[in-house]
Amino acid sequence: MKPELVSFKLCPFVQRSVIVLLEKGVPFDITYINLKEPPEWFKAISPLGKVPLLKVGDTVLFESAVIMEYLDEVNPPSLHPADPLRKAHNRAWIEFASGLLAGQYMLTMAAKDEAAFNTQRDELRARLMQLEQQITAPLFNGSDFALVDAAFAPFFMRLKLLEGWQPLGLLQGLPKVTQWARQLLERPAVQQSVVAEFAELYRNHIQGMGGYGARVFCAA
Ligand X SMILES: N[C@@H](CCC(=O)N[C@@H](CS)C(=O)NCC(=O)O)C(=O)O
* Binding residues for ligand X (CB under 6 A): 8, 11, 13, 35, 49-52, 63-65, 98
Q: Residue 49 CB, nearest distance to ligand X (Å)? A: 5
Closest CA to 150 of 9, 21, 29, 3: 21
Task: Give residue 56's identity as a one-letter amino acid code.
Answer: V
By beta-carbon proximity to ligand X, the closer residue of 50 and 121 is: 50
Tell the smallest beta-carbon distance from residue 105 to ligand X (Å). 8
CA distance 108 to 157: 14
Of the pair 95, 200, the CB lying nearest ligand X is at 95
Distance in Å, CB of 214 to ligand X, minimum: 18
Measured distance CA(68)–CA(120) in Å, rounded: 28
Bridging pattern class, strands 4-7 and 29-32: parallel
Beta strands across the sheet bearing 4-7: 29-32, 4-7, 53-56, 59-62
H-assigned helices in 78-187: 84-105, 114-132, 147-165, 175-186
Closest to ligand X by CB, 72 vs 174, is 72
Q: Whole-number minimum distance, CB 8 to ligand X, in Å?
A: 5
C-beta closer to ligand X: residue 13 or 152? 13
Q: How far is the CB of 120 from ligand X (least distance, A)?
A: 17
> Is there a contact between 32 and 9 (Cβ–Cβ < 8 Å)?
yes
CB of residue 78 vs ligand X: minimum separation in angstroms?
Answer: 20
| Closest to ligand X by CB, 3 or 52 | 52
What DSSP assignment string belongs to 39-100? Answer: -HHHHHH-TTS-S-EEEETTEEEESHHHHHHHHHHHSSSPSS-SSHHHHHHHHHHHHHHHHH
Q: Is 81 or 154 the residue whose CB approaches ligand X more closely?
A: 154
